[in-house]
Structure 1
Amino acid sequence: MARLLLVEDDDTIGHALSSSLAAHGHEIAWHTRGRDALAEAARGPLDLVLLDLGLPDLDGVAVCRGLRAAQPDAVVVMLTARAEEMDVIIGLEAGADDYLTKPVRLAELHARVRAHLRRRAPATPGGPPALGDLALDTAARRVTVDGTEVTLRTKEYELLARLAAEPGVAVSRETLMSEVWDEHWFGSTKTLDVHVAALRRRLAEAGGSARLPTIVTLRGHGYRLDPP
């Protein structure tokens, strides 16, 4: 679980972002004012900050500088309606690592957050979280079980890769549909269940006596990939 600070003065946007990030398993501290955000940053380590530049009490760029000074190891992502190139450059020079222009697309937000947290995570012996005899090569889009490649259809692979990105974390149906299919998907979510069933079947057929993770159904919520 990552500890995230959200600095956003718009209640509608703040509620939407904080709820969605919490649903992805993150611990969220949400503040609407720059001074409160700086006080939060002084309380303890943060993994990532989402910072709206248009704050009611302090200039967002000044807050960015303060956050960078207090949290030198945290990732800072600006949320801004200012699309002008100069505003973006000033924000990046103030210590931000990345920016997203409003209105923020949730699928893109979560993808950016995951990417930044992966890059920030220190290397550990043994590499990524253990998935038993199942291995994913995301660069080549290959899946192997005990060294033997498993042929998956496109969405089956993308579904497995999304669940494997956060082993042991509950992922909602809405999140899977948004990130694996499309945020504007209007069809039945039954397609998700069909793909999960097919993915389970393909892994079981390839598994034999291999140690494989389990795709757990969370009724009323979504799915979770449990390591073996």
Structure 2
Amino acid sequence: MVIASLLAMPAAFAQVQRSFLDLGFEQPVLTAPTPASGCYMQVDDSQLPGWSSAATTPSSTGLASGNCTPPPPLGTTGNLVEMWTTRFLGVVAREGRQFAELNAVYAGRLYQNVCVVQGEKVGWQLSHRGRSGTDVMSFNVDSSANQIMQGSTGTNGAGTVVAGTCGNGLVTGATCNAPTTTTVTDSSATPTLTSGWADYSGTFTWNGTS
């Protein structure tokens, strides 16, 4: 999950995207054959409002894998995002009922094209957890050279901001708060499941072009 809070633009710029869409990866809606077990599905990024993925699949891959009931059309190959419903592999979504896995099969950036004005101060928040151990993610603007921060998170939701990664390049005046661990519970089926997520937040000033 990624959340960003941006300042409003004048009405003349109303058609420019100024904030993130589909923050909790709730679209498209996926249905698990067995709700108590959840499901996963690799979905073409064109099916996710606002989101794009740099993780490409070879033409020989064919239909994207997964065991959810997807909304048509799923697509066959392209830039895929692996989405999970809550309870898949025992993991409860941070909010809502779905979330996305980073670097699931093919390493690639998950991003949105958002207009940020030069000199603008931006507040942000995102949640992250490790899948089977401690995972490190990078949050940046425009390119990896303009890093907001890197977060290192375990499967229990205990996270830390990697030392020396809070702001570089055209990202200036960055503040990175110590992440907090949030435990979420799902009791919609047996057994009741709980998962920990690290909530990261902070601010930065963008000094690149608008």
Q: TM-score, normalised by structure 2?
A: 0.31
**Which of the pair is proportionally richer in helix?**
1
**Which of the pair is proportionally richer in strand?**
2
Q: Which has the larger radius of gyration?
A: 1
Q: Which structure would you say has the larger RCO, counting Cα contacts within 8 Å and 6 or more residues apart? A: 2
